[in-house]
Amino acid sequence: KTLLNIENLHAEIEDKQILKGLNLKVNAGEIHAIMGPNGAGKSTLASVLSGRDGYEMTEGKVDFDGTDLMELDPDERAKEGLFLAFQYPVEIPGVSNINFLRTALNEIREYRKEEPVSAKEFMTMVRERSQIVELDSKLASRSVNVGFSGGEKKRNEIFQMAMLEPKLAILDETDSGLDIDALRIVAAGVNKLKNENNAVVLITHYQRLLDYIKPDFVHVLADGKIIKTGGPELALELEEKGYDWLTK
Ligand code: ADP
Ligand code: MG
Ligand code: MG
């Protein structure tokens, strides 16, 4: 079953063309890695899919599990089951992590015409899933991300993903230093939550993360397009040879 089908996606920021005809198809049960040189448009892709302000699709089509994704506002995209890792690390003073998640989870359930989560079920989920990312239980009751360290925000982000059970998670592991601990946490979360009904797209500049999570497909994004697709071995080849041999 196809969860995400991106066809000929063109997108711009501030009248600057960044994505120039990008195609990508992600089926349920798959892990895809998107790699590529700095400035290639990786984060732009994540932003366009999330519906972030200022990122405009100028051509193309994005189907998400049978729905025209670009017709939905960002909130609806999340409720349809799309999770963008950078969507949640915002700080929300005065709203506890737990209450934030319970509200988000119940909004998703309501949207799907499902019963709200019971207090007991919710607490069980919190206990089990915070353990996956070794999140300190005290952080659950603190305001969302306020005063969290970088590592705690990362744990919390993956905890949120675990709680919201998205159909498709897109994790943009921006180039700035994810330490080994953070990589291990992301990997533990992804490996634990991955099943035959969902899918993960990992955006990463470095091969390191892929030592911990084995992708089914590795794509190279350069100058706004996917220019090469392979298996896990492609990531190792890129680590060794860089990107120039593909773009020159
Ligand atoms: P990557 O994540 O692959 O490193 P980005 O998607 O962040 O690449 O950036 C792609 C291009 O878009 C770069 O040339 C970058 O300078 C430009 N860009 C990114 N964000 C903005 C913005 N808010 N305004 C203008 N240009 C931007
Ligand atoms: Mg970058
Ligand atoms: Mg980026």
> Domain locations in the chain?
2-247
Q: What's the token pair of residue 40?
A: 């290639």
**What distance in angstroms lies between residue 98's CA and the mean position of ligand 1's atoms?**
33
**Rounded-to-integer distance, Cα 204 and Cα 123, Å:** 33
pTM of the model as a whole: 0.92
CA-nearest residue, atom 19 of ligand 1: 44
User: In a structure prediction context, what are the per-residue pLDDT tens digits for the chain, which is 248 residues long?
Assistant: 999 999 999 999 999 999 999 999 999 999 999 999 989 999 999 999 999 999 999 999 999 999 999 999 998 999 999 998 765 567 778 888 888 899 999 999 999 999 999 999 999 999 999 988 888 878 878 887 788 887 788 888 889 899 999 999 999 876 566 778 888 888 888 998 899 999 999 998 778 888 889 999 999 999 999 999 999 999 999 989 999 998 87
Q: Containing H/E element for 237?
A: helix 232-241
Tell the burial category of 169 from Cβ atoms under 10 Å away from its Cβ (0-12, 13-18, 19+). buried
Rounded CA separation 31/195 (Å): 10
Q: Given CATH 3.40.50.620, say whether it is the number of domain 2-247.
A: no
Q: How far is the CA of 64 from the centre of ligand 2 (A)?
A: 25
Model ipTM value: 0.94
100 alpha-carbon distance from chain centroid: 19
Ligand having the closest approach to the CA of 45: 1
Distance 39 CA to ligand 1 centre (A): 6
Q: What is the 45 CA–ligand 1 centroid distance (Å)?
A: 10
- Say which residues have a Cβ less than 8 Å from residue 145's Cβ, sequence separation at least 6: 88, 89, 90, 91, 92, 97, 153, 156
Residues with CB under 6 A from ligand 1: 13-14, 16, 18, 36, 38-44
